[in-house]
């Protein structure tokens, strides 16, 4: 498959992708390296138990001094999805609507590439963008055993996949809104609003009963909202995340076919 | 004989309630440079985007190299080169990087002609586009449009930003293109740019085609300017009554008029007025186009 559009898009975002990957890995390495100082600190768990609502707002529940709890509280329940979503929503909004507003999409759309193949390359680029933070984070955890932190490599791989798919889904939502409206602002706004609402529902579900009843609607619940680093990502959760992404990309096909490209 | 490279049939494109292109029909025949003229915002670029499948027409249809550009099949674009009116390319890339990537997108393996174009235009490929002047970016755009030797070239305001020497080189490239049997649709708001090379012209104004004819026929029918001076104050009313005559200025002893059609009737009236001097200038396309463009043009989306 010719992947020129994919390569071009990744080249244009090279700096932000590398910068975010390095930043995420450096931050998580520090978290991993600090683990020995906190793993026996029971006052942290007591503080979480005393302030469950505030902790829940950061996606933190249960013990945070266990290896899984430590990584979850400091990365996978909050920062990892946030960083990954910054990249994917940014790319999703730029890939169609942003490049159309810039006028650069027209030059690419004037090559013999069909819009279906164009979208296929954009979606593949989005998937690669989605992998950046989870892969960098996984790599940063590799020295964990040296610091007494064994995250459970299978479960870590599972939540890395889940964060990847979560980021892909919200990026695909931005892609869809951008293709449907041609507006980068609408794409960024809708995807960011949905991501914010979904995060709140998933993170506050343990302490807010109204959110608890609808928590299953939130992709954050499917990815990181059920303590997946400790319990593992289920096939159902991964399937739901994957299905949502496929659905959103499929819906983008007719939207892009109808879009007037400038 | 193959079908005309471009056939547009009652094409209309609306944005909301505004009609940017309104019931446009035209045909561009093979091996021709076709001038597509109109003031800014008249609908030239919108028509072109419909031809390239970038816009979907609201009604009507077009055929480009025998294909419907609104269809999903984009294979006709292998044989089309396009230079947009406002060229936008990734600013952080160098010209070399852009040419390499777009050559790959077009499956272009033999880049000898691309290199030849770069040399002829003096394009700077080493610096990021954001550091280049408009004219130097335009050179990259021209190479992108021409490098795969397309059967059909669609050029929207192509010489924008080019200095006069490069404009001449560009026109030479276009002449070589049509000598090769290929076809050019050249859009411009500038008659001077177009009339040096085109065989046929269509003029679009406020979304509608107001003229579509060959250059020869236009020159034959274009208004001639006649200037008269008198040794006394003269009433030009009799001149204004002659069919085909428009009195442009009348200041007592000096009258300037535009004239189309057979010269007999106007010469008879001029002779009866006994002017002191008569000066007649040849057919003037500028005059024709200024009339067509009018003065109430508004920019459209």
Task: Please tell me the predicted confidence (pLDDT) of residue A14.
Answer: 97
Question: Are B54 and A260 within 8 A, CB to CB?
Answer: yes
Task: Please tell me the predicted confidence (pLDDT) of residue B294.
Answer: 67
DSSP state of B138: H
Tabulate helix, strand, coil % of chain A (nearest 5).
80, 0, 20
Assess contact for A60 and A48: CB atoms under 8 A: yes
Question: Are B105 and A104 within 8 A, CB to CB?
Answer: no
A-interface mutation test, from B47, B58, B77, most A Cβ less than 10 A away: B77
**Section A19-34 average pLDDT:** 98
**For A257, which residue in chain B has the nearest alpha carbon?**
B72
Task: Please tell me the predicted confidence (pLDDT) of residue B46.
Answer: 97
Residue A12: list chain B partners with CB under 8 A: 90, 92-93
**Section A80-87 average pLDDT:** 98
Min Cα distance A127 → chain B (Å) is: 21
Query: Which pLDDT band holds residue A10 (cuts at 50, 70, 90)?
Result: very high
Residue ranges of chain B whose pLDDT lies below 70: 1-2, 283-284, 294-301
Task: Please tell me the predicted confidence (pLDDT) of residue B24.
Answer: 98
Rounded to an integer, what distance in angstroms lies between the CA atom of residue B228 and that of residue A261?
A: 54
pLDDT digits (tens, 9 = 90+) for A92-113: 999 999 999 999 999 999 999 9
Non-local CB neighbours of A19 within 8 Å, separated by 6+ positions: none
DSSP state of B282: P
Task: Please tell me the predicted confidence (pLDDT) of residue A13.
Answer: 97
- Residue A226 phi, psi dihedral angles, 5° rounding: -125, 35
Task: Please tell me the predicted confidence (pLDDT) of residue B296.
Answer: 45
* DSSP assignment string, B191-260: HHHHHTT-SEEEEEETTEEEEEEEHHHHHHHSPEEEEEE-SS----HHHHTSTTEEEEEE-SSEEEEEE-
Nearest to A111 among B84, B86, B106 (CB): B106
Task: Please tell me the predicted confidence (pLDDT) of residue B301.
Answer: 37
3-state class of B83 per DSSP?
A: strand
Min Cα distance B110 → chain A (Å) is: 17
Nearest to B105 among A11, A111, A116 (CB): A111
The more confidently predicted of residues A166 and A41 is: A166
- Which ipTM value was assigned to this complex? 0.91
Rounded to an integer, what distance in angstroms lies between the CA atom of residue B160 and that of residue B163?
A: 9
Task: Please tell me the predicted confidence (pLDDT) of residue B297.
Answer: 42
How many Cβ pairs within 8 Å bridge chains A and B? 70
* pLDDT value at A42 more than 90: no
A53 CB within 8 Å of a chain B CB: no
| Residue closest to B203 by CA, chosen among B80, B35, B60, B57 | B35
CA distances from A138 to A25, A132, A153 (A): 8, 10, 9
Task: Please tell me the predicted confidence (pLDDT) of residue B126.
Answer: 98
Share of residues in chain A with pLDDT > 90 (%): 89
Task: Please tell me the predicted confidence (pLDDT) of residue B176.
Answer: 95
Residue A255: list chain B partners with CB under 8 A: none
Assess contact for B258 and B224: CB atoms under 8 A: yes
Q: Is the dihedral of CA A236, A237, A242, A244 positive or negative?
A: positive
Task: Please tell me the predicted confidence (pLDDT) of residue B284.
Answer: 66
Question: Are B104 and A2 within 8 A, CB to CB?
Answer: yes
Residue indicated by tokens 């012209």: B201
């Amino acid at each position: 498959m010719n992947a020129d559009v994919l390569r071009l898009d990744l080249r244009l975002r090279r700096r932000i992708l590398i910068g975010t990957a390095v930043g995420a890995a450096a931050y998580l390495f520090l978290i991993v390296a600090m683990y020995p100082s906190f793993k026996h600190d029971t006052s942290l768990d007591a503080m979480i138990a005393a302030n469950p609502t505030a902790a829940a707002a950061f996606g933190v529940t249960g013990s945070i001094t266990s290896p899984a709890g430590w990584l979850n509280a400091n990365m996978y329940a909050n920062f990892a999805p946030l960083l990954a979503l910054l990249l994917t929503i940014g790319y999703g909004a730029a890939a169609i609507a942003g490049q159309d507003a810039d006028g650069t999409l027209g030059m690419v759309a004037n090559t013999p590439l069909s819009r279906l193949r164009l979208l296929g390359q954009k979606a593949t680029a989005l998937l690669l963008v989605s992998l950046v933070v989870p892969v960098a984070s996984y790599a940063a955890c590799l020295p964990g055993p040296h610091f007494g932190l064994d995250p459970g490599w299978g479960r870590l791989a599972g939540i890395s996949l889940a964060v990847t798919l979560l980021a892909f889904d919200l990026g695909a939502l931005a892609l869809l809104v951008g293709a449907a409206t041609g507006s980068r602002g609408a794409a960024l706004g809708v995807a960011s609003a949905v991501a914010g609402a979904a995060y709140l529902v998933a993170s506050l579900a343990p302490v807010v009963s109204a959110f608890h009843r609808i928590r299953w609607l939130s992709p954050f619940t499917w990815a990181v909202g059920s303590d997946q680093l400790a319990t593992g990502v289920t096939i159902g959760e991964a399937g739901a995340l994957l299905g949502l992404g496929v659905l959103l990309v499929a819906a983008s096909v007719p939207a892009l076919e109808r879009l007037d490209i400038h | 004989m193959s079908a005309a490279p471009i056939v547009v049939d009652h094409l209309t494109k609306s944005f909301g309630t505004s009609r940017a292109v309104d019931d446009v029909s035209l045909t561009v025949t093979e091996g021709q440079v076709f001038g597509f003229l109109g003031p800014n915002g008249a609908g030239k670029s919108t028509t072109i985007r419909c031809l390239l499948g970038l816009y979907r027409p609201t009604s009507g249809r077009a055929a480009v190299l025998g294909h419907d550009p609104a269809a999903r099949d984009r294979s006709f674009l292998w044989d089309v080169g396009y230079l947009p009116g406002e060229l936008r390319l990734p600013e952080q890339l160098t010209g070399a990087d852009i040419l390499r990537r777009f050559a790959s997108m077009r499956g272009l393996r033999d880049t000898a002609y691309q290199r030849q174009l770069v040399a002829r235009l003096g394009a700077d490929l080493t610096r990021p586009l954001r550091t280049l002047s408009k004219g130097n970016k335009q050179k990259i755009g021209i190479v992108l449009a021409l490098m795969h030797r397309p059967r059909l070239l669609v050029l929207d305001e192509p010489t924008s930003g080019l200095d006069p020497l490069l404009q001449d080189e560009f026109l030479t490239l276009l002449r070589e293109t049509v000598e090769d049997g290929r076809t050019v649709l050249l859009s411009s708001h500038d008659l001077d740019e177009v009339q040096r090379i085109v065989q046929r012209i269509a003029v679009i104004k406020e979304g509608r085609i107001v003229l579509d004819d060959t250059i020869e026929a236009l020159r034959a029918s274009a208004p001639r300017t006649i200037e008269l001076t008198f040794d006394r104050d003269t009433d030009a009313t009799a001149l204004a009554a002659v069919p085909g005559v428009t009195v442009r200025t009348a200041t007592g002893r000096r009258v300037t008029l535009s004239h189309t059609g057979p010269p007999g009737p106007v010469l008879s009236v001029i002779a009866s007025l006994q002017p002191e001097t008569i000066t007649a200038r040849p057919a003037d396309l500028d005059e024709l186009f200024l009339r067509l463009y009018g003065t109430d043009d508004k920019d459209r989306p």
